[in-house]
Structure 1
């Protein structure tokens, strides 16, 4: 039987001999704690990359080598997955592993704007991300339905623009204490938080607090169609929006008050962000004049740079005058339209890189199949676990130079996901697909669907034993 490791390491060499028997009582402890307690030697090896590690297990114990805390942390995550039940108790089979990631950016986007998700859910998700060696949690903090972060420079945003969600349910926002708790938890798990303030579209909620900043909603036939299909009514200025339509809202580009707002909000968010990335949105601004769009997105990016951070934007922002080094996040299909591909290439042409989030593969809010109770199907129909795995980041945008792709980020939009149970059901196991694509070597016997499916089946079994409501479709599809 193959080792049940996800993501699959760069090099795995089974060893001869008896397994390592863990101490009596291990079954009552968490796998990670049990594995860590059996480490007999851990040493520094400057020749290893920051996230790389070596791991040797035999009957005598466990030896870990790493050059930095990240590598040691990943070694422990691998050890936790190696713990298994043997005939005589809990064991780890003898093995030598040499490992390092393919890409530095391995992430998950959680939308807390359409439905608010509390600190407890986000902290739980950070724990699970660390198990899969993910490095970035991108929080989509603002959208038409709500503003989810307390801003001392603009307190009205939390007071007036956070009270509801899709479907009219309760809203919510993170206080400063909440945000500090999330940052601390993320740091302990080796994960960087990436806040997103989406603009100039997806800004209807801003108008609830500052009506002078937002243009009247642009109600198109597509907005009417979505309202007819999903409910929520048509957007009206000054009225909370609880529907699913997109593209109707916009900031009033060119107004001095809007520029002041961007300086206040983005400057404060940058000050609250210890990591190097701040996301400025830029997607689906269908109600904004193209020239105005380019002007405002360019200004927002300049403000982020002025505060010492690197701006990230959805790939549409490639048509704006972004500073060199800005990061693009591609959300088109695995076979992109010419327009989407051109916009993505523009980031690379300016010295930037791309995070790949193809919506028909790693948008975790897509249904698994037509019968899935939660989720949507707009990204070329349902996304099975198999489809979430069978793609490669370097193949999506033809003609990119080496190093243009900095990583992979799955995305969990929450129009239909109201609580942690929904997060669990939709993210697991497909988040594991994104994690392996981002970490593991591109090719090899284990980097094919049949082998991944077998390993993932074991991970699903263990998740479910640990109380995670992981989707069992992987066992039968």
Structure 2
């Protein structure tokens, strides 16, 4: 049975009699599910014209009933991978039953019920009209393929305010993504308060990419975002990029900088920084310890701290490995687990460490001869960059040999700063399509984003056992505003949810594109700026309700 929701449901069967949902139907929830019920009602009222009420006194009659229960869920396949919050008791299996006498949503945990209600919310939105949603009779049970389903958001090159990040969290929640990985530091800016190092925000936070306005998140801002995400069962994972990508650090504290850091303008607005933190200086480790402690204190729900570890241009392999090893020790000393980009595989990682795979061998090889790459990179710097790319082909096998877990983020499928390939169905969007997206990447279609599988795209992996999860990424060199960001994220983010949640090789483009078209009404009502790809037969736009 085809159900107009994303991600694809594991098992769904058509029932006998449909159900007409009106605002008179209450949502009945026990006390332990009341918060989940109220979140559902609020989100549904934003996404659709259906406005429901929550009841906790279990009235008789037709209702949407929420239950903590696990009946009928044991046959679902086990979820693989790792949790960003480290919750070993997590269980997202859930069921949804729609019949003429009402609706039942159940799961073993409040999070599981929330996932089931997310399916119901999409279903209601797809069938709503004139205050009534005619819902198909349905019996469904569902569970995710991977426990880590994420999006990495670059807030360093373009600073995105708290409200924008909240909007992104809402997008993640809608497609059952449960991790928002914040890339908080880079050459262009520093976005996190560290009390012992105030110049990081007084100086390092001023900048952004090009002439964009900088900024940072206060401790209160972070607390509000962490709570907002937790209400939607999303964990925010902080990334402090080191030992490279540290120009903002060096601008704030020159005593941490190498003697001759070098910044090269490759083309106007695109800068490459050469200079890394020195693992042989004890001041470096005072800095790293203070920064990690601050990140751990603020992002309390995350079991991980992401240390970056990528693109340490000009750093000797031995020095890079020594830095990564000690940084991982610092993270573990603060009671957290370590996560880093795939280059950390070249250090002494092991079981419990997570390596984020992003540089695909085929794409890296193509990049060696890419005219776009050569146009962006100064001739003197090109050999250094090509050396880094050449080393990347060994990272995944090395990580697996060392017992690490992989987080899968292949550039060709999950880097959303790639230009859109198809034309827009709205000619007014063509200027944005031509401007937004890194030109070094070949453009990608929406279909490219769902016709693949994490196993097939990951070197030497032949089962889910070594994959911790799936994570998309959006980098913001070409993103100048919230509208640009959302233009790159949607509709692509729905596809990331599909690949991280749905069973292997179950996505068919014809079915997926039809399900995707049904999402547009919610996007319009929320005022999200999305790319109207000509690949999909979109409905007429709805009136935006939220900004």
Q: Normalising to structure 1: TM-score of the pair? A: 0.90
**8 Å Cα contact 1:13-1:95 kept in structure 2:** yes
State whether structure 2 residue 444 is matched by structure 1 residue 389. Answer: no
* Alpha-carbon distance change, 291 to 70 in structure 1, aligned in 2, over 3 angstroms: same
* Alpha-carbon distance change, 390 to 313 in structure 1, aligned in 2, over 3 angstroms: same
Which of these residues, 67, 74, 79, is aligned with residue 108 of structure 2? 67
* Alpha-carbon distance change, 314 to 384 in structure 1, aligned in 2, over 3 angstroms: same
State whether structure 2 residue 200 is matched by structure 1 residue 157. Answer: yes
Structure 2 counterpart of 1:235: none
Cα distance, 1:369 vs structure 2: 2.8
- Is the deviation greater in 82-91 or in 101-110? 82-91
Q: Can you list the C-alpha shifts for 1:188-243, whole angstroms capped at 9, x where unaligned?
A: 010111000001110000011111111256558xx45x2xx2x14xxxxxxxxxxx
Aligned positions of 1:241-320 closer than 5 A = 244-274=270-300, 275-320=302-347
Which of these residues, 457, 476, 483, is aligned with residue 421 of structure 1? 483
Which of these residues, 470, 482, 498, is aligned with residue 408 of structure 1? 470
Structure 2 counterpart of 1:206: 249
- Is the deviation greater in 31-40 or in 63-72? 31-40
Structure 2 counterpart of 1:136: 179
SS of residue paired to 1:378: coil
Cα distance, 1:13 vs structure 2: 1.0
Cα distance, 1:150 vs structure 2: 0.8
State whether structure 2 residue 395 is matched by structure 1 residue 343. Answer: yes
SS of residue paired to 1:291: helix
- The CA distance in 2 between the partners of 1:304 and 1:363, in whole Å, is 27
- The CA distance in 1 between the partners of 2:420 and 2:361, in whole Å, is 17
Which of these residues, 72, 77, 97, is aligned with residue 118 of structure 2? 77
State whether structure 2 residue 26 is matched by structure 1 residue 10. Answer: no
Aligned positions of 1:428-447 closer than 5 A = 428-444=490-506, 447=507
Matched positions, count = 457
- The CA distance in 2 between the partners of 1:250 and 1:282, in whole Å, is 10
- Structure 2 unpaired stretches of 5+: 26-40, 55-62, 79-90, 365-389, 423-429, 539-547
SS of residue paired to 2:237: strand
**8 Å Cα contact 1:35-1:80 kept in structure 2:** no
* Alpha-carbon distance change, 123 to 286 in structure 1, aligned in 2, over 3 angstroms: same
- The CA distance in 2 between the partners of 1:247 and 1:359, in whole Å, is 21
Cα distance, 1:330 vs structure 2: 0.9
- The CA distance in 1 between the partners of 2:359 and 2:465, in whole Å, is 20
* Alpha-carbon distance change, 392 to 341 in structure 1, aligned in 2, over 3 angstroms: farther
Cα distance, 1:43 vs structure 2: 3.4
**8 Å Cα contact 1:246-1:284 kept in structure 2:** no
- The CA distance in 2 between the partners of 1:411 and 1:459, in whole Å, is 21
Structure 1 counterpart of 2:436: 374
Which of these residues, 492, 503, 518, is aligned with residue 458 of structure 1? 518
- The CA distance in 2 between the partners of 1:247 and 1:154, in whole Å, is 22
- The CA distance in 1 between the partners of 2:233 and 2:180, in whole Å, is 10
Cα distance, 1:397 vs structure 2: 2.7
* Alpha-carbon distance change, 98 to 341 in structure 1, aligned in 2, over 3 angstroms: farther
Cα distance, 1:464 vs structure 2: 2.2
- The CA distance in 2 between the partners of 1:130 and 1:81, in whole Å, is 12
- The CA distance in 2 between the partners of 1:268 and 1:86, in whole Å, is 48
Cα distance, 1:86 vs structure 2: 5.7
State whether structure 2 residue 152 is matched by structure 1 residue 123. Answer: no
SS of residue paired to 1:246: strand
Structure 1 counterpart of 2:46: 30
Structure 2 counterpart of 1:475: 536
Cα distance, 1:468 vs structure 2: 1.6
SS of residue paired to 2:165: helix
- The CA distance in 2 between the partners of 1:409 and 1:377, in whole Å, is 22
State whether structure 2 residue 406 is matched by structure 1 residue 354. Answer: yes
Structure 1 counterpart of 2:68: 43
Structure 1 counterpart of 2:231: 188
Structure 1 counterpart of 2:368: none
Q: Can you list the C-alpha shifts for 1:298-327, whole angstroms capped at 9, x where unaligned?
A: 111111111111110000110011243110
Structure 1 counterpart of 2:19: 19
- The CA distance in 2 between the partners of 1:404 and 1:124, in whole Å, is 32
SS of residue paired to 1:29: helix
- The CA distance in 2 between the partners of 1:43 and 1:74, in whole Å, is 13
Structure 2 counterpart of 1:237: none
**8 Å Cα contact 1:217-1:287 kept in structure 2:** no
The root-mean-square deviation of aligned C-alpha atoms, in Å, is 2.5
**8 Å Cα contact 2:66-2:113 kept in structure 1:** no
Q: Can you list the C-alpha shifts for 1:136-175, whole angstroms capped at 9, x where unaligned?
A: 0000000001100111121111111110211122100001
- The CA distance in 2 between the partners of 1:383 and 1:467, in whole Å, is 25
Cα distance, 1:265 vs structure 2: 1.0
